[in-house]
């Protein structure tokens, strides 16, 4: 019935793209460069964790899962943004808009739940070190990752189904680069506190609940670290958590500003800027934060790059030698 109600509205127009040709070229080059860096950084993390035996621990398993989710998360919207920059008509179909929202919100929510599982992993490692190998088994890690992704997608599917069951006005213009909840909700004609509270409830489950779990975990972690008498031990314990805390503050700060507020306080230009931060900035900064502050990750990535370079050099030399042999005339 929801799709029948929107039969007259088959596509949306995305209005946030620059009209000036020079700005379009600069925007395309800038977004392309950032996207290449995002994919490269997160793929290096996944490959390094997969190939380095010393990184086969729960902490790095969660980090690799987070990097994999962020690769998919950016792939949902960034290629579409790049295509729209070059196209004269910035349109998206009704079904395409709904599908983009499902995966964008779902994978973003999975990001939040994964950050909560990483906080739980740090809590067990610091507060229950002797029981850590027994509690954080591979089976539990896999279940936590799968539960994070499935829960995020389930909540997103419920939210998007609710939004697209509402009647839309005749206006087709979305003041954004892609289909996100706040700008699409602006096109809904049936404005009421019930609809607004329903969206806020879904956002609370996906953002506020994981953040509460993270805050609770770190409250226990801080209490346990303060009991450590050695200053070196305290520094080491805090250093293992600092990268995770930096990512949490960046991710949850942006998401809370966009989603955990009334629809009436929506500011298109400011929200578009914030959306670029959590769509491009966070996936770009996560690999940098986790690698620059982690000597094991830096070493693993360095070894992966070195092996690839040496393999390429040996293949090139082999090709040259082969070609040289084939060109020598027989005596």
Categorize the per-residue pLDDT at 1 as very low, low, confident or very high, splitting at 50, 70 and 90. Answer: very low
Mean pLDDT of 76-100: 91
DSSP 8-state class, residue 305: H
| pLDDT for the residue 265 | 65
Contacts 24+ apart (CB under 8 A), 138-143: 138/58, 138/61, 141/58, 141/61, 141/62
**136-165 pLDDT tens trace:** 999 999 999 999 999 999 989 988 988 888
DSSP 8-state class, residue 11: E
Q: What is the pTM of this model?
A: 0.83
Mean pLDDT of all residues belonging to the chain: 82
Give the class (CATH, top level) of 17-295: mainly alpha
Q: CB under 8 Å to 211, separation ≥6 — which residues?
A: 112, 116, 248, 252, 256
The two structure tokens encoding residue 218: 């770190």
User: Taking the domains of the chain in order of start, what are their residue ranges?
Assistant: 17-295
**227-243 pLDDT tens trace:** 877 777 677 767 767 77
């Amino acid at each position: 019935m929801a799709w029948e109600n929107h039969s007259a509205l088959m596509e949306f127009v995305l209005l946030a793209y620059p009209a000036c040709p020079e700005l379009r070229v600069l925007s395309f080059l800038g977004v392309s460069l950032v996207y290449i860096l995002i994919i490269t950084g997160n793929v290096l993390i996944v490959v390094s964790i997969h190939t380095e035996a010393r990184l086969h621990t729960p902490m790095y398993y969660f980090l690799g899962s987070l990097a994999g989710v962020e690769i998919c998360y950016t792939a949902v919207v960034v290629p579409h943004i790049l295509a729209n920059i070059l196209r004269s008509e910035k349109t998206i179909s009704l079904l395409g808009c709904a599908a983009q929202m499902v995966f964008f919100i779902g994978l973003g929510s999975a990001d939040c739940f994964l950050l909560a599982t990483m906080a739980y992993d740090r809590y067990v490692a610091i507060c229950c070190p002797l029981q850590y190998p027994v509690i954080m088994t591979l089976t539990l890690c896999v279940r936590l990752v799968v539960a994070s992704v499935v829960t995020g997608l389930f909540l997103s599917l419920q939210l998007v189904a609710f939004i697209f069951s509402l009647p839309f006005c005749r206006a087709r213009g979305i003041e954004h680069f892609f289909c996100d909840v706040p700008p699409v909700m602006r096109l809904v004609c049936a404005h009421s506190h019930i609809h607004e509270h329903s969206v806020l409830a879904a956002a609370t489950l996906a953002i506020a609940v994981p953040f509460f779990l993270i805050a609770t975990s770190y409250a226990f972690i801080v209490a346990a670290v303060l009991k450590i008498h050695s200053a070196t031990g305290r520094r080491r314990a805090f250093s293992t958590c600092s990268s995770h805390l930096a990512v949490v503050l960046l991710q949850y700060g942006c998401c809370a500003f966009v989603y955990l507020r009334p629809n009436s306080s929506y500011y298109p230009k400011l929200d578009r800027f914030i959306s670029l931060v959590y769509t491009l900035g966070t996936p770009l900064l996560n690999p940098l934060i986790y690698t620059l502050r982690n000597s094991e990750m830096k070493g693993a990535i360095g070894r992966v790059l070195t092996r690839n370079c040496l393999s390429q050099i040996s293949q090139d030399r082999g090709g040259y030698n082969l070609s040289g042999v084939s060109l020598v005339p027989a005596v």
